Amino acid sequence: MSAASSVVRVARRLVAPVRPILYRSRPLSVSWGLERGTPVDRAYIEAFLGAHRSDIGGHVLEVKDAGYATRLGTGVTATDVLDVDPANPLATIVADLSSADSVSTCAFDCFILTQTLQYVRDPAGAVAHAHRVLRSGGVLLASLPSITKVEAPARDVDRWRFTEASCRDLFGGVFGNGSVEISTAGNLAAAVAFLLGMAAEELTPRKLGRVDPDYPVVVLVRAVKS
C-alpha cells in the first residue's frame, strides 16, 4: 500500500464518525434547540446578564417582555417593555427603536437589548435612541448575533450580523469608546452546535465555555451613558 493510500484511509476513518452530522440537510431542531434545552446563544446571553445583575436595577426597559429584568434584576423599581408589534400584550411602549422619538428621554436606568438590532433597518439610529432614553449613569446591556442562521419566520426583516469591530464602531461612536465594554462568546464547536440546533446542555462546559474570537456566536456589549 502506498503512503498516499494510507493517508486517504486514515482520513476516511476520521471523517466517518462525523459524516452523519456534517452532511445533514436539515438541523436537529428548527427552534434553536429550545425543545432540547437552552439555545446556545441564550446560554451566553444569560451568563452575561447574570454577571451584570448589579446593573439591572431602577427603572428597566426590555424588549418584547420583562423576563430578564424580573428574573435577574436587583433593586428593580419599575419595568417597561418595548416592542414594534402592537399585538404584543406585554408591550407598554410600542415603537421602532430606530425611530423611537416617542419614547421619553432620560427615563431609564437600564436597557436590556438582547438579539434585537439584527431586525431594525437602522442599527445606528437604534443605538442613538438607546443612549437617549437612558439616564446619566444608565447602562445598556446588549447582545448581537454573529454566527447564526436566518430566521425563517422573520426572513423579510432579519437583516444584520455583527462582529466585535462593528460593535465598537456602532456603540463607541454614541456612548464613547471609554464607556463601552465589548466581548464575544462562542467558539467553532459551539457555533456548529448552534447551527445544528443542539442545546447548550448537549455540549460539555469546556466546549461551551471556551472563547474563540474567530468564531463568535454572539457579541456582548455593556455601555454606560456618561
**Backbone dihedral region for residue 72 (phi beyond 0: left; psi -120 to 50: alpha; all else: beta):** alpha
* More confident site: 25 or 207: 207
Structure confidence by residue, pLDDT tens digits, 98-129 = 999 999 999 999 999 999 999 999 999 999 99
Is the pLDDT assigned to residue 87 strictly greater than 80?
yes
Phi first, then psi, for residue 46 (nearest 5°) are -65, -35
| The pLDDT value given to residue 177 | 96
8 falls within a domain: no
- 8 pLDDT band, cuts 50/70/90, is very low
Angle between helices 40-51 and 188-196 (to 10 degrees): 120
Is the pLDDT assigned to residue 19 strictly greater than 70?
no
21 falls within a domain: no
Query: For all residues of the chain together, what is the average pLDDT?
Result: 92
Give the C-alpha separation, 171 to 180, whole Å.
7
| The pLDDT value given to residue 207 | 95
Could you tell me if 78 and 101 are in contact, meaning their C-beta atoms sit under 8 angstroms apart? no
Is the pLDDT assigned to residue 1 strictly greater than 70?
no
Q: Which of 151, 211, 142, 209 is nearest to 181 (CA)?
A: 142
**How many structural domains does the chain have?**
1
| The pLDDT value given to residue 15 | 46
15 falls within a domain: no
* More confident site: 16 or 82: 82
Structure confidence by residue, pLDDT tens digits, 150-198 = 987 788 999 999 999 999 999 999 999 999 999 999 999 999 999 999 9
| The pLDDT value given to residue 30 | 87
Give the structural domain span for 177.
Answer: 29-224
| The pLDDT value given to residue 11 | 45
Query: What's the burial of 171, exposed, middle or buried (CB within 10 Å: 0-12/13-18/19+)?
Result: buried
- 78 pLDDT band, cuts 50/70/90, is very high
Angle between helices 123-133 and 164-175 (to 10 degrees): 40
**Mean pLDDT within 52-74:** 98
Query: What's the burial of 137, exposed, middle or buried (CB within 10 Å: 0-12/13-18/19+)?
Result: exposed
Q: What is the strand order of the sheet 76-83 is part of?
A: 93-94, 76-83, 58-63, 108-114, 134-145, 218-224, 180-185
| The pLDDT value given to residue 199 | 95
9 falls within a domain: no
74 falls within a domain: yes
198 falls within a domain: yes
7 falls within a domain: no
**Backbone dihedral region for residue 27 (phi beyond 0: left; psi -120 to 50: alpha; all else: beta):** beta
Count of beta carbons in the 10 Å neighbourhood of residue 17: 8
> Global pTM?
0.90
Is the pLDDT assigned to residue 81 strictly greater than 90?
yes
Give the C-alpha separation, 41 to 115, whole Å.
9
Is the pLDDT assigned to residue 12 strictly greater than 80?
no
Longest dimension (CA), the chain: 76
Q: In CATH, what number is assigned to the domain containing residue 49?
A: 3.40.50.150
Is the pLDDT assigned to residue 10 strictly greater than 80?
no
6 falls within a domain: no
